[in-house]
Structure 1
Amino acid sequence: MSTNPKHKQSAQGAAETSDGQDPALRRQLLAVAREAAAAGAAVLAERGRGRVAADTKSAAGDWVTDFDRRAEMAVRDVIAAARPNDAITGEEYGRTVPADPSGYRWSIDPLDGTANFVRGIVYYCTSVAVFGPLDETAAATPAGKATAAAAADAPAANAPAAPGSPAASGGNSLAADAAAMDAGTHGWLAAAVNAPALGTEYYAAAGDGAWLVDSTLHVGSDARRGGSATRAQQLAGGDREEAGRLLATGFGYDADRRQFQVGALLGLMPGFANVRRIGSAALDLCLVADGTLDAYAEYGTQEFDWAAGALIVAEAGLPVLRPRTDPGWQAAGHLDFDALPQEQPAT
């Protein structure tokens, strides 16, 4: 691994689970994540045929729809009902911090792959993940509450503030989270990605592996991922020696950012047969976890894009790189992280 701290690989999997964490709590967090992601996906499943009306956010093609907004509210409702003292950061409605924060924070993307969704391309999903202390007894101490408050005060990168909701300023949440993970006090604990048009649900809890439920497959199928609507299949990634290896990536809306990303991609291509641009970072990561893709790397994604998928890949036993700066690199799978170029200089 590179000695550049921006390229540091985060510890994950069983190493991220401490003796002080109650397995029942981890199971509860996973249950909430799955229920919340399913609630968002149920809104997306209401999509009919034809093109969906959308509003432009930051640039042409950077769209938001009524489905994004309604799905996020559905996800938030599930989390708030089950965990009223947890903070929530969402793509559309920013950060909400309760009066007495528990120390746990949810990162949600109600519709990852909005451009696909608008145009009727099936690769879109709802993504939900939770970050918090590895030892929940520490979260109740004054020091733990101070850590939770500091994390809550650091805004998620580029997350918009919701009208009327608490939104703090200052700080760097990526750096703060990375430092807490490096110290072994906090980590990503549970995650779910639900893709209604694909009929798939991916989920993981720290130390408990990554799993797929695929409602399009039946018991006895020789399809690569296996599983059925009622049986989950544990994921372990693909074969790093497989011929015809595929690298997934994505591109931003800004012209200068795209130029940097394309140049970086050319440098990563040796060792890969081809590249795929699917249009959903969360699903790119999940497809690495299930072995459909061999690796994924993208520059400039937001936390809610990768929060759930990165934990799912890590729990499938594959290397994961999370951004420590904004913008930064997010990568996973059988890829030399040292080959990633230095971050784009700020302009």
Structure 2
Amino acid sequence: MSMNPKHLQSAQGAAESPVDRAAALGRELLAVAREAAAAGAAVLAERGRGKVAADTKSAAGDWVTDFDRRAEIAVRDVIAAARPNDAITGEEYGRTVPAEPSGYRWSIDPLDGTANFVRGIVYYCTSVAVFGPLDEAAASATSATSATSAPSSTATPEGNTLAADGAAMDAGTHGWLAASINAPALGVEYYAAAGDGAWLIDSVLATGSDARRGGSATRAQRLQGGDKEEAGRLLATGFGYDADRRQFQVAALLGLMPGFANVRRIGSAALDLCLVADGTLDAYAEYGTQEFDWAAGALIAAEAGLPVLRPRTNPGWQAAGYLDFDALPAESSLGEVPAADQPASGAPAAK
């Protein structure tokens, strides 16, 4: 290898380029996301047989368990140890902002599909994703803004940042950067990093299986969604706890059904999005989900090459796959839900 100083300078410059630094950061964030999701899933894997004791949060069927709380603590511990200056927003413990924020924020659902978990239905998971600046200039600006406006080292209620985050994504300064969804009862992990595709590790299906979700515990398969012209297309959705909200959701669903053979209600928004990403389902649309429900799954679906709609308002529509997003109605168009019945920003939505 040449020792010409010009060559050395070029090699050093390449190693320190913004592109290389961004790639290294992406790998770091993905590693943290996967480790954190695995830590939460390990708590969920402690579940035995039979029903699990649960407390009611906001409505009948809106449950929280000790597993939710312990899994979130496990996820937070991993993130805080690896990236102590990142903010964290979690379903059970709200938002925590460090004294010197980095500008990166993690959105975590320690147990997506709590109702399934309580009943012993296997569709539940831990979901972890991180949002932040795409380049160094945006990182510096975000850190300065956060440092002057955020409280230090305290858990605070989550504000509605959907519109601001969406505008930053449109401007190309910020985005969802890495995500992992770990479903221990299914034996699968889905993960993605911005620009690097979406992947599945399935510890149940044997290597060489021709199933769409093929793979093994040691070999990841890249996800590319399903066939746009699939016969018998399936649409996934979910429903809230409030009766008026459910009435709107059912009416909206009827309007979306043309073009689909049937509908599935899995019970976990995160896994709905993953099943669209791996082609098991063709599309997913749900009104009123919270950020921690879709943060990781939306990135996984997008990196699988699918159209994705993230909500800009709370409540709003979240959707992915081969679906006409323009056909998603506004809530007022099918009957106004009284303001008193609408969940506040950050309040839990249907699992």
TM-score normalised by length of structure 1: 0.88
Gaps of 5+ in 2: 1-17, 339-351
Rg larger for: 2
Alpha-carbon distance in 2 for matches of 1:151, 1:180: 18
Contact 2:99 2:147 in 1 (8 A): no
The residue aligned with 2:29 is 29
- Between the aligned partners of 2:163 and 2:171, the Cα distance in structure 1 is 12
**2:165 maps to what in 1?**
177
**Per-residue deviation at 1:343?**
3.4
The corresponding residue for 1:79 is 79
> Do residues 292 (structure 1) and 280 (structure 2) align?
yes
Q: Out of 287, 302, 312, which is 1:314 matched to?
A: 302
In 1, Cα distance between equivalents of 2:155 and 2:124: 29
Compute the displacement of 1:219 (Å).
1.3
- SS of 2:331's equivalent in the other structure is coil
Pairwise CA RMSD: 1.7
Unpaired runs of 5+ residues, structure 1, are 1-17, 154-163
Alignment-derived partner of residue 132 in structure 2: 132
Are residues 1:107 and 2:96 paired?
no
Code of the residue aligned with 1:241 in structure 2: it is E
- Report SS of the residue matched to 2:155: coil
CA contact (8 A) 2:93 2:155 kept: no
- Which deviations, in whole Å up to 9, do the C-alpha atoms of 1:240-263 show, x marking residues without a partner? 101000000000000010000000
CA distance in 1, matches of 2:122, 2:148: 39
Q: Deviations over 1:211-262 (max 9, x none)?
A: 0000001112122211111000000000010100000000000001000000
Which whole-Å CA distance do the structure 2 matches of 1:320 and 1:302 have between them? 15
Q: In structure 1, how many angstroms separate the alpha carbons of the residues matched to 2:149 and 2:50?
A: 42
1:320 CA drift (Å): 0.2
Judged with a 3 Å threshold, the aligned counterparts in structure 2 of structure 1 residues 68 and 168 are, in CA distance, closer, same or farther, namely closer
What residue number does 2:293 align with?
305
What is the identity, as a one-letter code, of the residue corresponding to 1:225? R
Match of 1:272?
A: 260
Which amino acid in the other structure matches residue 40 of structure 2? G
Aligned residues of 2:138 and 2:174 also touching (Cα < 8 A): no
Count of aligned residue pairs for this structure pair: 317
Matched residue SS, 1:128: strand
Residues 118-157 of structure 1: per-residue CA shift (max 9 Å, x gap): 00000000000000000034312xx33244458968xxxx
Residue in 2 that maps onto 1:167: 156
Deviations 1:27-86 (A, max 9, x none): 000000000000000000000000000000000000000000000000000000000000
CA distance 1:255–1:152, shift in 2 (3 Å): farther
Matched residue, 2:189: 201
SS in 1 for 2:163: helix
- The aligned amino acid for 2:216 is S
Aligned counterpart, 2:222? 234
In structure 2, give the amino acid aligned to 1:219. Answer: T
Query: Which structure has the higher relative contact order (CA within 8 Å, separation 6+)?
Result: 1
**Hey, what does 1:156 align to over in structure 2?**
none
- Letter paired with 2:117: F
Do 1:151 and 1:176's aligned partners in 2 also have CA atoms closer than 8 Å? no
1:3 aligned partner: none
- Report the equivalent of 2:5: none
Distance change (3 Å), C-alpha of 1:282 and 1:168: closer
Q: How does 1:11-30 map to 2 (within 5 A)?
A: 19=19, 22-30=22-30
Distance (whole Å) between structure 1 residues aligned to residue 321 and residue 337 of structure 2: 28
Structure 1 stretches of at least 4 aligned residues deviating more than 3 Å after TM superposition: 18-21, 146-153, 343-346
* Percent of aligned positions that are identical: 85
* Partner amino acid, structure 2, of 1:285: L
CA distance in 2, matches of 1:187, 1:32: 17
Structure 1 letter corresponding to 2:330: Q
